[in-house]
Amino acid sequence: DIRWDDYIERGQIDAIDTVRDVLGVDAVHTIGYCVAGTTLAATLAVLAARGEAGKVASATFFTAQVDFADAGDLNLFIGDEQMDLIKSLGADGFLGGRYMAATFNLLRGRDLIWNYVTNNYLLGKDYAPFDLLHWNGDTTNLPSKWHLSYLTDLYRDNLLVQPGAMTVMGTPIDLTTVATPSYIQAGREDHIAPMESVW
């Protein structure tokens, strides 16, 4: 039953407040990578809407999508049929991490599937070291409600960049109100978070 609101409110905002309390500081420096960076953008908008933007001194975003208009190849997985399949796979309340790993492998099929069929299975060569294999192998189960709303609200409908289109714990969010000094890093060849989507 965990939703994006929980990650923002009970995850990031609570963490920000805890660090401020423990260290006795007025503001913290934050970093968000990938989905956590997208979530951080929403967190900053929530804090701005509540008049609490001063809790965060700076934000660093590593390959974190915010505008999903040019979200890349993952857009292939947000059609009605795919969403129905994802919904059925998460009927127990979570989506198994192996399905996410399969999705990421399909996005880089030449590198992560056919390369090994050709070189290892057909030619008998040893597996070549490839960093993405380790990343894809570190799977995480996802809460179904959160995952479906993430795909629907962000990837399909691109609501995050529309002022007031989304709310977090009843607070409408507007990214245009965020004035937190930010550093944004994008990966030139990132197949999950293309540069245009990150910036």
Q: Which residues are tagged catalytic?
A: 34
Cβ distance 38 to 155 under 8 Å?
no
The rounded distance, in Å, linking the Cα atoms of 141 and 35 is 14
Q: Which residue has the tokens 């990031």?
A: 12
Under 8 Å CB-to-CB from 158, ≥6 apart: which residues? Answer: 67, 68, 69
**Tokens coding 42:** 């929403």
The rounded distance, in Å, linking the Cα atoms of 174 and 48 is 9
Q: Pairing mode, if any, of strands 167-168 and 171-172?
A: antiparallel
Report the Cα 108 to chain-centroid distance in Å: 18
Under 8 Å CB-to-CB from 68, ≥6 apart: which residues? Answer: 154, 155, 158, 160, 161, 197
